[in-house]
């Protein structure tokens, strides 16, 4: 079991560590690559996973409900923890609510549970992504238009993929191959860019960083276990949900905090230490879920 967990996690952290080392030595500007990833490669991955004859969105309604329960529950727990610590809820809630289900979650799901786990993992990613670009952005700036979330390419790819699947439209095989090839670029680029991005983070407050780093996976796994008791899920979906709950805070939380001037140093501490703590919490989640 230990060797299997190491074999699953090693490629993820190896690519992230490589990105960190390159980021420390060369300081590459990945802003254009990251934009291409979010605007082209990730949407291609999402569309290819959903525009599939074997994908039926109705089959994943319980899993989507459990994901929504988990994300919302983490937000409420983050608000209560922030009030107890005397921290601004806008600083602590997003890192606890929105996890790294893109950079780490998608490749981890495939490596741990096989290619068949990609479609449900993408569906879970889209629940979190949709909430992050709508409620998460609104939480940091109440003047923002939530309707803008429908302009996000990955959201449009989700709607297009689901529509193609529901209507039974068969995409020309060579075109689908090209789309899958674009999607295949996204995961290694996500991991490499995550490592580079972590070189830009700084520990602004160690105490809050450690609390957030531990609270994010502990609360997530606890809510995942609760959701399993309340919502009927298959064994594979339960394992996916548990791993989803254990994921560290998304790097996007730091980008949003910096953009909206919401104590980015504190958020950076939570994100940086949270992703380091994933070395401890993800093996625990995999040991339980496998």
The two tokens of residue 220 are: 């997530």
What does each C-alpha distance from 262 to 69, 87, 91, 92, 265 come to in angstroms?
26, 12, 6, 10, 9
Check whether 88 has a pLDDT greater than 80: yes
Q: Provide the pLDDT for residue 202.
A: 67
Domain count for the chain: 1
Q: Provide the pLDDT for residue 205.
A: 75
Least confident residue range of 60-69, 120-129, 179-188, 189-198: 189-198
Half-sphere exposure of 66 (CA within 13 A, CB side): 32
- What pTM was estimated for this model as a whole? 0.80
Check whether 232 has a pLDDT greater than 80: yes
The pLDDT tens digits for 89-137 are 999 999 999 998 877 888 888 888 888 888 888 888 888 888 888 888 8
Q: Provide the pLDDT for residue 226.
A: 96
Q: Which of 151, 263, 269, 150 is nearest to 205 (CA)?
A: 269
Confidence of residue 72 (pLDDT cuts 50, 70, 90): very high
Q: Provide the pLDDT for residue 237.
A: 92
The pLDDT tens digits for 48-59 are 877 866 666 677
Check whether 1 has a pLDDT greater than 60: no
- Which range in 7-11, 71-75, 124-128, 153-157 is most confidently predicted, on average pLDDT? 71-75
Q: Which domain holds residue 81?
A: 2-289
Percent of the chain exceeding pLDDT 90 equals: 30
- Which range in 4-18, 73-87, 167-181 is most confidently predicted, on average pLDDT? 73-87
Check whether 8 has a pLDDT greater than 80: no
What average pLDDT does this structure show over 34-45?
85
The pLDDT tens digits for 126-184 are 888 888 888 888 888 877 766 666 777 878 888 888 888 778 788 888 999 999 899 88
Close Cβ partners of 71 (under 8 Å, ≥ 6 residues apart): 97, 98, 127, 128, 131
φ, ψ at 269 (rounded to 5°): -65, -45
Q: Provide the pLDDT for residue 85.
A: 92
Q: For the chain, how many residues are written? A: 290
Helical packing angle, 173-198 and 2-26, nearest 10°: 70
Q: Provide the pLDDT for residue 81.
A: 95
CATH number of the domain that 222 lies in?
1.20.1530.20
User: How many whole angstroms separate alpha carbon 31 and alpha carbon 40?
Assistant: 14
DSSP assignment of the chain equals -HHHHHHHHHHHHHHHHHHHHHHHHH----HHHHHHIIIIIHHHHHHHHHSSTT--GGGGHHHHHHHHHHHHHHHHHHHHHHHHHT--HHHHHHHHHSB-TTTTHHHHHHHHH-GGGHHHHHHHHHHHHHHIIIIIHHHH-TTS-GGGGGG-HHHHHHHHHHHHHHHT----HHHHHHHHHHHHHHHHHHHHHHHHHHTT---S-HHHHHHHHHHHHHHHHHHHHHHHHHS---HHHHHHHHHHHHPPBPTHHHHHHHHTTS-HHHHHHHHHHHHHHHHHHHHHHHHHH-
The pLDDT tens digits for 265-285 are 788 888 888 888 888 898 889
Q: Provide the pLDDT for residue 147.
A: 67
Q: Provide the pLDDT for residue 239.
A: 92
Helical packing angle, 173-198 and 264-289, nearest 10°: 120
Check whether 12 has a pLDDT greater than 80: no
Please state the separation of Cα 154 from the chain's center in Å: 13
């Amino acid at each position: 079991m230990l060797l299997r967990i190491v074999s699953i996690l090693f490629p993820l952290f190896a690519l992230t560590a490589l990105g960190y080392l390159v980021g420390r030595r060369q300081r590459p500007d990945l802003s254009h690559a990251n934009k291409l990833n979010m605007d082209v490669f990730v949407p291609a991955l999402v569309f290819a996973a959903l525009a599939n004859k074997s994908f039926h969105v109705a089959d994943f309604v319980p899993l989507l409900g459990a994901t929504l329960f988990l994300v919302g529950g983490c937000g409420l727990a983050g608000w209560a923890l922030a009030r107890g610590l005397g921290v601004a809820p806008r600083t602590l809630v997003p890192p606890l609510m929105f996890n790294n289900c893109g950079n780490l979650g998608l490749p981890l799901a495939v490596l741990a549970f096989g290619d068949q786990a990609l479609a449900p993992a993408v569906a879970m990613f889209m629940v979190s992504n949709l909430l992050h670009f709508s409620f998460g952005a609104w939480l940091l700036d109440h003047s923002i238009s939530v309707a803008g979330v429908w302009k996000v390419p990955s959201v449009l790819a989700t709607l297009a993929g689901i529509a193609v699947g529901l209507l039974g439209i068969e995409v020309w095989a060579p075109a689908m191959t090209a789309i899958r090839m674009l999607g295949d670029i996204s995961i290694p680029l996500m991991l490499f860019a995550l490592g580079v991005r972590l070189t830009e983070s700084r520990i602004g407050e160690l105490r809050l960083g450690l609390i957030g780093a531990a609270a994010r996976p502990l609360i997530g796994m606890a809510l995942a276990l609760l959701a399993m008791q309340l919502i009927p899920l298959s064994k594979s979906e339960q394992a996916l949900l548990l791993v989803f709950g254990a994921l560290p805070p998304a790097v996007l939380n730091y980008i949003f905090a910096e953009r909206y001037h919401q104590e980015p140093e504190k958020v950076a501490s939570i994100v940086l230490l949270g992703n380091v703590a994933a070395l401890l919490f993800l093996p625990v989640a995999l040991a339980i879920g496998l």
